[in-house]
Amino acid sequence: MPSSRPSIAELRAVTQAGIVERRSAEHWAGRLYMRPLSPYVTRELIRTPVTPDQLTVAMIVVGLVASVVVAWPGLLTAVVAALLIQLYLLLDCVDGEVARWRRRTSATGVYLDRLGHHVVEGAFVVGLGFRAGGGPGTAPSWWFTLGGLAALLVVLGKLESDLVTVARAGAGLPTDRETDPVSRVGGIRSLRRLVAYVPIHRLVGVIELSLLAVAAAAIDAWRGDLLASQVLLAATGVVATVVALGHPVTILTSERLR
């Protein structure tokens, strides 16, 4: 194992090599500010008995707490939820960095990480559904139902990407092949390139949703109602539907399964 008190440069070389450079493998928030910050936290964590899997579980718990907090209307709850999601992102960075530094990467860790992302992404949308409907304890409304349906579609869209790896492994193909996702069909290829320039699918990511929830909460506070939060949830449902229906088409018409 490398020295227990490495420099930040040493940590970056070991734990972030090949990650930040791959745009498809790293969230924009990670590249912009969290990966530059995370090694300072990782350097302290590698001196403790905490394991990478424990950090991943902590990430999931923090994400679920954020999903509960955002369910209550109000600007303060939206801000707290957004801050918790930033902590969720930080833990998502440091769990892998600790694992790579200690050379303890494992299938269990990857599984927990992927499971955690899907659970939190879906749970946060459910929380937005409760927020749009007036919060827990209010009379049931169709906003609760819309939040649940949108959450299912968000998770489905994430699973569709994961199933590419499963399908390639089942067919005996390399699972880590960097394949061009652009469709072989002209019309779909044009739409895919448009999405690359205007990434509306990012709207259903938990980091983006947490920030948009703050903006919506500020508008709600100014207006004195929940219209902005309701519009955000409706837009999330529309985008999640488009992604869930369109993603398999782009996958099946690209080279990703070949």
* Domain containing residue 111: CATH number: 1.20.120.1760
Check: CB of residue 218 under 8 Å from CB of residue 232: no
pLDDT tens-place string over residues 177-196: 555 455 444 444 545 554 55
> Is residue 171 in some structural domain?
yes
> Is residue 150 in some structural domain?
yes
pLDDT of residue 21: 55
Residue in the structure block whose two tokens are 């500010």: 33
Check: CB of residue 95 under 8 Å from CB of residue 59: yes
Instruction: Give me the amino acid identity at 185.
Output: V
> Is residue 225 in some structural domain?
yes
Q: Domain total for the chain?
A: 1
> Is residue 2 in some structural domain?
no
Whose CA is closest to 42, among 111, 107, 91?
91
Domain of residue 182: give its range.
8-252
Exposure letters 128-140 (e unless 16+ CB within 10 A, then b): bbbbbbbeeeeee
**H helices within the chain, ranges in order?**
8-15, 28-29, 35-45, 52-69, 75-101, 107-132, 142-170, 186-197, 206-223, 227-252
DSSP letter for 204, please.
G
> Is residue 257 in some structural domain?
no
> Is residue 149 in some structural domain?
yes
Tokens, residue 251: 């996958």
pLDDT tens-place string over residues 33-53: 899 999 999 999 999 999 999
pLDDT tens-place string over residues 93-135: 999 999 999 998 899 999 999 999 999 999 999 999 999 999 9
Q: Poorest-confidence range of 70-74, 161-165, 195-199? A: 195-199
End-to-end CA distance of the chain: 38
> Is residue 1 in some structural domain?
no
Measured CA to CA, the distance from residue 217 to residue 12 in angstroms comes to 37
- pTM, two decimal places: 0.88
Mean pLDDT of 52-80: 98
pLDDT of residue 203: 82
- Which residues have a Cβ under 8 Å from the Cβ of 26 and sit 6 or more positions away? 19, 20, 35
> Is residue 148 in some structural domain?
yes
Confidence of residue 257 (pLDDT cuts 50, 70, 90): confident
